[in-house]
Amino acid sequence: MKIDHLVSQIHKKKSFLCIGLDTDLDKIPKHLLTEKDPIFSFNKEIIDATNQFCVAYKPNIAFYEAYGLKGWKSLEKTMDYLNSEHPNIFTIADAKRGDIGNTSTRYAKAFFETLNFDSITVAPYMGKDSIEPFLSFEDKHTILLALTSNEGAYDFQTKRIDGQELYKEVLEESKSYKNAERLMYVVGATKAVYLQDIRRIVPESFLLVPGVGAQGGNLQEVCKYGITKNIGLLVNSSRGILYASNNMDFAEAAAEKAKNIQREMEIELNKLE
Ligand SMILES: O=C(O)c1cc(=O)[nH]c(=O)n1[C@@H]1O[C@H](COP(=O)(O)O)[C@@H](O)[C@H]1O
């Protein structure tokens, strides 16, 4: 998907919500477990109930890989469903990949071509030649981990190397990569105060911001420092939406949560006008 199209969808739906499809068989309503493909059944009901309130879905690949071939099939069905029924939705493979060049190319093929995702999360640790293979795919986006939402982010990402924090080095350096215009960055909602500094380095880039809801990040704070004239934000919530209820009404409960976040986003978007 082209960025312009994503931005137009954000304006149309008055939402920059991304819903994380972190589908966990231990958490979904019990009545679904008798279905042929409980993961897909759950995802389909969630997508049907929430798609009007969001512009993106982000299946976290770990939740599918955990169930082996069955999980992979559920992921494939979910992607086929999204691409055929909701072609205006932006899709993110939360896979956190990255390897030597020829291996990165295979990861890129797996997620961009075989599964037809619009984007993938990638770890920057192995450097330029591990990222550029992802960037060579037209109309596909590579979302580089910059400053993550977890406590461990302080272990390395905020450490100074030659006077500069590592996450800033990642942001700066990556701007020189070939096809850098296809880059987006992950910044945790729990790190919103860093967004001012981040916007000085990447003023226009889209940021994937997970960590509102279950991890305690604050949407207003994220918007205060992170929003741009092209919006530039995709704010993700997974558990806070998916598991709002584990009864028969789970999809309506998820829709209610998504709608509440969308309303808050609409207020933030109105401030820009
Ligand atoms: O890349 C991510 O999406 C990600 C990066 C990060 O820094 N923190 C983070 O929580 N995530 C993912 O975002 C989702 C957050 O889920 P909830 O905390 O349930 O909303 C999970 O799938 C995480 O793997």
pLDDT in tens, 31-61: 999 999 999 999 999 999 999 999 999 999 9
Q: What is the secondary structure of 19-62 as a DSSP string?
A: EEE---TTTS-GGGGGSSSHHHHHHHHHHHHHGGG-SEEEEBTH
pLDDT digits 0-9 by tens, 111-132 = 999 999 999 999 999 999 999 9
Lookup: tokens for 29: 């309503």
Range of the domain at 156: 3-271
Q: Whose CA is nearest to atom 24 of ligand 1?
A: 60
119: its two tokens: 């984007």
Confidence of residue 214 (pLDDT cuts 50, 70, 90): confident
Cβ atoms of residues 208 and 234 within 8 Å: yes
CATH number at residue 41: 3.20.20.70
> Nearest C-alpha to atom 5 of ligand 1 is from which residue?
148
> From ligand 1's centre to the CA of 239, what distance in Å?
10
Count other Cβ atoms within 10 Å, centred on residue 1. Answer: 17
Q: How far is the CA of 273 from the centre of ligand 1 (A)?
A: 30
Mean pLDDT over 218-240 rounds to 96
pLDDT above 90 (res 190): yes
Instruction: Indicate which atom in ligand 1 lies nearest the CA of residue 237.
Output: 20
Average pLDDT of the residues in 167-185: 98
Instruction: Using alpha carbons, list the distances in angstroms from residue 219 to 222, 225, 250.
Output: 5, 10, 23
Confidence class for position 213, pLDDT limits 50, 70, 90: confident
pLDDT value for 8: 97
Q: How many CB atoms lie within 10 A of CB 189?
A: 24
Dihedral pair phi/psi, residue 148, rounded to 5°: -85, 165
Percent of the residues in the chain that have a pLDDT greater than 90, as a whole number: 98
The mean pLDDT of the chain is 97
Q: Which residues are catalytic?
A: 96
> How far is it, in rounded angstroms, from Cα 146 to Cα 124?
8
Q: Do residues 253 and 245 touch, judged by C-beta distance below 8 A?
A: yes
Ligand 1 pocket, residues with Cβ under 6 angstroms: 20, 22, 60, 94, 121, 148-150, 186, 188, 210-211, 213-215, 236-240
Atom of ligand 1 minimally distant from the CA of 214: 18
What domain count does the chain have?
1
Task: Write down the residue that tokens 């619009």 correspond to.
Answer: 118
Residue 218 Cα, ligand 1 centroid: separation in angstroms? 14
Tell me what pLDDT residue 70 has: 97
pLDDT in tens, 8-20: 999 999 999 999 9
Q: How many CB atoms lie within 10 A of CB 125?
A: 11
What's the pLDDT at 83?
98
Model pTM? 0.98
